Every structure is written in structure tokens, then in C-alpha cells.
């Protein structure tokens, strides 16, 4: 896939997930206590699994952050990486987008559990940057 298609695909993925995130956050029942009182708010999933709106919210948040990261990573890699970076490592954009998506998901979950603070945030970011640095310098 060419570089410009990566950017277009990233914006498309982020827009679709933003629409889904807005739908879940404005149209679905928010909490477990409300779900236990109103059985009509349960979203029937695969078989007997009840997918809660929070699960869909996390999935849409992951897709939004990952899709939005692709054009930003494309620009930064074009600007600062070696000239032949795309031919050498064609999964770099997807990998960096997944890192940002997972980091955003972890931060949202930790904030929901009221366990996110500056130290935890810095450690998480440092770990992800260190892993990506090791992957980039292995060549």
C-alpha cells in the first residue's frame, strides 16, 4: 500500500470510530447499575454474551486513536526517518498506531479505575517509547 493510502485509511478509520464513539457515549445506557435495573439496555452479542456499551466505547476509542495516529506517524516518519524507511519496514505505521491505541486504552481504563497519576503515565509512555526504540534499532 502506498503512503498516501495509509493517510487516507487512517483518517477514514478514525472518522468511523469517532462516529461510533459519539453514538455509544450519547445513545447507550452508561453504567452497570443502570443495566441491572433496565434489561432492555443490554446489547445482545454473540450467543449469551452481553456486550456492554463501555466495551464498545473502549473499542471505538482504540480505533479512533489508532486511526488518528497513522497520518501523524506518516508525517513524522517522512520528516525524520531515513529516506527508505517505508520499503525497509512497511508495518511501522500500523505498529506505531497500535502502540498509541493501546496506550490510550490503558490510560482510559486506569482513569476509569481512578488509578492514573503522573508517575503511572510517565512509566507507561516510557515503556512504549523504549519498546519502539528497541524495534527501530534492531536493524
Instruction: Write the pLDDT tens digit of every residue in 77-114.
Output: 999 988 888 888 888 999 999 999 999 999 998 998 88
Query: Residue 30: what pLDDT?
Result: 58
Please work out, in degrees rounded to the nearest 5, the angle formed at the alpha carbon of residue 135 by the alpha carbons of 82 and 15.
Answer: 80
* Domain spans of the chain, in order of start: 3-136
Half-sphere exposure of 62 (CA within 13 A, CB side): 14
What is the grid cell recorded at 37?
435495573
Q: What is the pTM of this model?
A: 0.81
Residue 13: closest CA among 64, 53, 60? 64
Q: Provide the 8-state DSSP code for 28.
A: S
Q: Can you list the residues of the chain whose pLDDT is less than 70?
A: 29-51, 139
The C-alpha cell at 3 is 503512503
Give me the pLDDT at residue 74, please.
92
pLDDT at 71: 94
- Whole-number Cα distances in Å, 52 to 31, 60, 132: 9, 13, 33
Amino acid at each position: 500500500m502506498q503512503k498516501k493510502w495509509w493517510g487516507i485509511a487512517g483518517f477514514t478509520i478514525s472518522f468511523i470510530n469517532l462516529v461510533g464513539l459519539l453514538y455509544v457515549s450519547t445513545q447507550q445506557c452508561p453504567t452497570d447499575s443502570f443495566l441491572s435495573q433496565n434489561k432492555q439496555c443490554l446489547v445482545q452479542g454473540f450467543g449469551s454474551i452481553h456486550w456492554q456499551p463501555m466495551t464498545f466505547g473502549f473499542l471505538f476509542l482504540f480505533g479512533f486513536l489508532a486511526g488518528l495516529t497513522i497520518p501523524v506517524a506518516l508525517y513524522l516518519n517522512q520528516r525524520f526517518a531515513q529516506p527508505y524507511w517505508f520499503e525497509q519496514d512497511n508495518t511501522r505505521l500500523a505498529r506505531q498506531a497500535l502502540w498509541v491505541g493501546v496506550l490510550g486504552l490503558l490510560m482510559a481504563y486506569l482513569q476509569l479505575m481512578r488509578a492514573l497519576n503522573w508517575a503511572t503515565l510517565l512509566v507507561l509512555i516510557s515503556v512504549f517509547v523504549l519498546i519502539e526504540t528497541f524495534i527501530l534499532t534492531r536493524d
